Amino acid sequence: MFVCSVCYEPFNYDVNPASLPCGHVFCEGDIRRIPAYGSSQCPTCRKPFTPRDIRKVYMACDLNSRSDHGLSASQHQSAEILAAQMRDLDISATDNEIARVLGGARAWSRSLEGISDKKVKTSLARFTLSLDLANARVLETSYLRDQLKQARSEQTRLNAKLQEESRRFNAALSEQVIQAASADDE
């Protein structure tokens, strides 16, 4: 069992783990309160951090353990397939691939809405929130990718224009040097 080294509470459905850039993990509530005390340093190693550096840690569950979750065998199988698809996504995944996996995750989470287990409902709510955040990041990444393409296109256009102007300048300069040399010869 993992516990927060600040409050010694075990991580669970109510105590969410969060990590700092140095790699140390604490409960999210404690680590978010630290900057309010004027010291934004890791309680363990004292490396500085900003609130933007705090990252939620999502703990994997054992999908083979079906006890007390109220999930059917087919729901567990769907969860295993979905987990594999999410693990297989990487930075090179297209927006369509990501949207397909996120859509599958949403469909799976909707299929669990009738479950009465409180822990599953809490996890499902967090999972749905993380899907919303992931979708927002996909949209932002897509927008930034488009902006980058436009900027690169503009850079290419400006480089071509700069080369053309440089060629014209060099041609005009050569012409002036030739004219000056001709005038000196006369």
Contacts of 10 (CB under 8 A, 6+ apart): 1, 2, 3
* Whole-number Å distance between alpha carbons of 1 and 169: 72
Residue 60's pLDDT band, with cuts at 50, 70 and 90, is: low
CA dihedral (171, 177, 178, 184) in degrees, to 10, reads 170
pLDDT: which is higher, 97 or 49 = 49
pTM: 0.45
* Whole-number Å distance between alpha carbons of 15 and 35: 19
* Whole-number Å distance between alpha carbons of 13 and 120: 9
108, with CB counted inside 10 A (0-12, 13-18, 19+), is middle
pLDDT digits (tens, 9 = 90+) for 141-171: 888 888 999 999 999 999 999 999 999 999 9
What phi, psi does 14 have (nearest 5°)? -100, -20
pLDDT digits (tens, 9 = 90+) for 10-39: 887 678 888 898 888 888 998 888 888 888
Please say if the pLDDT value at position 48 is more than 80.
Answer: yes
Domain topology for 1-59? Herpes Virus-1 (3.30.40)
Domain ranges of the chain: 1-59, 66-186
Q: What pLDDT was estimated at residue 97?
A: 80
pLDDT: which is higher, 168 or 135 = 168
| Residues 28, 16 contacting (CB under 8 angstroms) | yes
* Whole-number Å distance between alpha carbons of 111 and 134: 20
pLDDT: which is higher, 174 or 120 = 174
Phi/psi zone of residue 23: left (φ > 0), alpha (ψ -120 to 50 degrees), beta? left
pLDDT: which is higher, 125 or 156 = 156
